[in-house]
């Protein structure tokens, strides 16, 4: 630097500060003068080490670009007092804005609210943040809207709201699930958790805004969503917004619009009423602990409606909803709920490579030779699928119709199966409902379907018709006929009548492959009934009862021979009769052949709530 080097202003503006005094030694990059333009201060720095010899401006002066500001003289390295003024602080003390941020973030932690957390733990429950951490991969969660507080500034101080309403009672953000198996790109999910320790997990103005924000991201980024829905519904105590009805809240429509676009999982622990329950009811699957209570209103609203006083624990217990179908899976506690939520999401995030399979040979004897003896169809499914991969839904609501997610060679599939231990495998109205909805779920999320058929048909009789069987059985036909994903069918034993057709997507050629086991038998109706109906005149003509019974049995035996899978295969009505031990391989081959099948369905499909 030459003696008397002049530092000039790079911009026109007003001099607002001169940090360096005459005689001060400055290093390259240190601010000499601040010049304000358009309400922003720009520092003018030394470009080399030197001593301030002369100040050529004063605070308040207006300068133009190129005007002289300071004259510096050279200083040898190591000489001078090294006076300094760093624009952002020298690190000796924490900046006040960073200290404020650190303090606000600290208030979001469970450690900041020990009494509320202890109360939660004393009941045997986890906190909302602990539940979020249990679902996502460790360290992957990025929170959105954490600094939000309840919209109650008109009635409470800002300090109180910051202390007592962290995140406005709703934790929202994005993390990963199974990233170690699937990679970060396929494993991102959104998580919502209502915090019951904050205003009873109610839905306030600010957390509705947060909810809408994360729902928008789910739709835009195709993110699966997990919602911990415990809470009391709408919050009447918020004051900081103009409005009257609150019916313009967009959250419920936004949540429901995600159905069929992304997987939706609701977890319910404790009390879940009103608006919180409405969100849970729109999910693909509801996972509940035994002490969950799920209802469209809590005690206050019930009493306000003139329906009397009720205990909250009497409203919608999980044990009841396991039977109604409102709850898909009942788990032991929140720990298992988080594990099941992770498992459920995994089926929709793509195939995995680390699968194992049990010995398939026991399938050869899984179905007894005695055609009237029941067997465990769930054991068949467990052996057929990858080990540990089966997750059954709605077992309590429709015990005769198995609806389950599973993997076969790492690929996720939906499985429909009849349980012969319940009504002999007949499809009742509840079973038809469960199967139809499950097909809708699989279709919406592009999961192929495997059917394990063993049914004598639809349940019939006057009592069955009281359950609107005509319409509810019709739903199963409609779901199967409009299925756009591949379906592979295996007839384990019985496939009779309209019920069998509905199980198979409408008819024997609707699946991409239809197989029978050696025990399979297929026909237009139950064979005993068919013989009595078709040969009534001939049988009535035989006067001797013993002779008539003998003749009837001969006709039934002949009908069984004609109905056997071997005979049906000779007419090419099914594609093959399989050694049960090779079933898995044939399913894999059939699905591989159908891998390029394109979607023919209408856009905008969704998962039916019922």
Taking only the tens place, the pLDDT of each residue in 446-458 is: 999 999 999 999 9
Provide φ and ψ at 124, rounded to 5°.
85, 15
Mean pLDDT of 319-343: 95
Least confident range of 68-77, 239-248, 363-372, 584-593: 239-248
The answer to whether the beta carbons of residues 390 and 382 sit under 8 Å apart is yes
At 86 the pLDDT is 43
At 299 the pLDDT is 87
At 532 the pLDDT is 58
| Res. 488: pLDDT tops 90 | yes
At 84 the pLDDT is 47
From CA 409, how far away is CA 549, in angstroms rounded? 50
At 117 the pLDDT is 96
**Residue, of 273 and 88, whose pLDDT is higher:** 273
What's the whole-model pTM score? 0.85
| Res. 584: pLDDT tops 90 | yes
Mean pLDDT of 62-91: 70
β pairing state of 521-523 and 487-496: parallel
At 300 the pLDDT is 83
Least confident range of 104-113, 186-195, 588-597: 588-597
The answer to whether the beta carbons of residues 3 and 53 sit under 8 Å apart is no
At 186 the pLDDT is 87
At 462 the pLDDT is 87
From CA 172, how far away is CA 362, in angstroms rounded? 47
> Cα angle at 132 between 396 and 438, to 5 degrees?
30
At 43 the pLDDT is 87
Alpha helix ranges (H) inside 176-326: 179-182, 205-221, 251-257, 274-281, 299-304, 318-324
Taking only the tens place, the pLDDT of each residue in 541-582 is: 767 787 676 676 666 666 677 789 999 999 999 999 999 999
Per-residue exposure over 254-266, b if at least 16 CB sit within 10 Å of its own CB, e if not: bbbbbbbbbbbbb
Of the candidates 48, 8, 1, 4, the one whose C-alpha atom is nearest the C-alpha of residue 26 is: 48
At 455 the pLDDT is 96
Of the candidates 161, 152, 226, 231, the one whose C-alpha atom is nearest the C-alpha of residue 196 is: 231
Mean pLDDT of 420-437: 95
At 559 the pLDDT is 65
**Residue, of 47 and 245, whose pLDDT is higher:** 47
């Amino acid at each position: 630097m030459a003696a008397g080097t002049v530092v000039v202003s790079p911009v026109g503006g007003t001099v607002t500060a001169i940090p360096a005094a005459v005689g001060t030694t400055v290093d390259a990059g240190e601010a000499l003068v601040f010049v304000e333009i358009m309400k922003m201060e720009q520092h003018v720095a030394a470009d080399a080490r030197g001593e301030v010899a002369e100040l050529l401006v004063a605070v308040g002066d207006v300068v133009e670009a190129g005007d002289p500001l300071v004259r510096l003289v050279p200083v040898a390295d190591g000489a001078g007092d090294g006076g300094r003024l760093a624009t952002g602080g020298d690190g000796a003390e924490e900046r006040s804005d960073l200290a404020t941020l650190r303090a606000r973030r600290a208030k979001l932690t469970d450690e900041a609210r020990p009494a509320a957390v202890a109360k939660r733990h004393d009941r045997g429950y986890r906190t909302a943040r602990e539940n979020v951490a249990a679902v996502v991969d460790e360290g992957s969660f990025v929170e959105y809207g954490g600094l939000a507080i309840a919209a109650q500034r008109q009635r409470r101080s800002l300090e109180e709201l910051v202390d007592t309403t962290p995140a406005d009672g709703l934790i929202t953000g994005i993390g990963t699930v199974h990233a170690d198996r699937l990679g970060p790109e396929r494993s991102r999910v959104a998580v919502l958790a209502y915090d019951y320790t904050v205003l009873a997990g109610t839905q306030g103005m600010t957390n509705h805004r947060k909810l809408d924000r994360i729902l928008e991201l789910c739709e835009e980024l195709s993110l699966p969503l997990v919602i911990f829905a415990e809470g009391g519904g709408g919050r009447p105590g918020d004051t900081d917004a103009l409005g009257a009805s609150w019916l313009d809240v967009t959250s419920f429509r936004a949540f429901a619009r995600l159905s069929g676009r992304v997987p939706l999982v609701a977890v319910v622990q404790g009390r879940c009423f009103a608006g919180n329950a409405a969100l849970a009811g729109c999910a693909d699957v509801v996972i509940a602990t035994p002490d969950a209570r799920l209802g469209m209103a809590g005690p206050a609203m019930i009493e306000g409606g003139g329906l009397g006083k009720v205990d909250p624990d009497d409203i919608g217990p999980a044990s009841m909803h396991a039977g109604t179908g409102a709850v898909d899976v009942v788990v032991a506690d929140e720990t298992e709920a988080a594990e099941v939520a992770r498992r459920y999401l995994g089926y929709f995030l793509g195939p995995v490579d680390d699968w194992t399979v049990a010995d398939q040979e026991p399938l050869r004897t899984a179905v007894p030779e005695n055609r009237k003896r029941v067997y465990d169809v769930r054991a068949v499914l467990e052996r057929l699928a990858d080990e540990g991969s089966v997750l059954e839904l709605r077992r309590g609501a429709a015990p005769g119709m198995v609806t389950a997610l599973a993997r076969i060679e790492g690929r996720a599939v939906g499985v429909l199966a009849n349980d012969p231990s319940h009504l002999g495998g007949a499809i009742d109205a509840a079973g038809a409902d469960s199967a139809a909805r499950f097909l809708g779920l699989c279709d919406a999320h592009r999961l192929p379907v495997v059917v394990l058929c063993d049914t004598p048909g639809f349940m019939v009789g006057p009592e069955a018709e009281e359950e609107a069987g005509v319409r509810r059985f019709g739903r199963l036909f409609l779901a199967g006929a409009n299925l756009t994903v591949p379906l592979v069918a295996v007839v384990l034993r019985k496939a009779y009548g309209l019920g069998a057709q509905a199980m198979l997507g409408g008819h024997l050629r609707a699946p991409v492959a239809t197989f029978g086991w050696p025990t399979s038998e297929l026909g237009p109706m139950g064979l005993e009934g068919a013989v009595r109906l078709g040969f009534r005149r001939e049988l009535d003509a035989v006067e001797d009862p013993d002779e008539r019974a003998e003749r009837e049995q001969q006709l039934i035996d002949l009908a069984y021979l004609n109905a056997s899978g071997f005979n049906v295969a000779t007419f090419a009505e099914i594609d093959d009769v399989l050694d049960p031990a090779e079933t898995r391989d044939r399913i894999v081959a059939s699905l591989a052949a159908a891998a390029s099948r394109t979607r023919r369905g209408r856009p905008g499909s969704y998962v039916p709530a019922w």
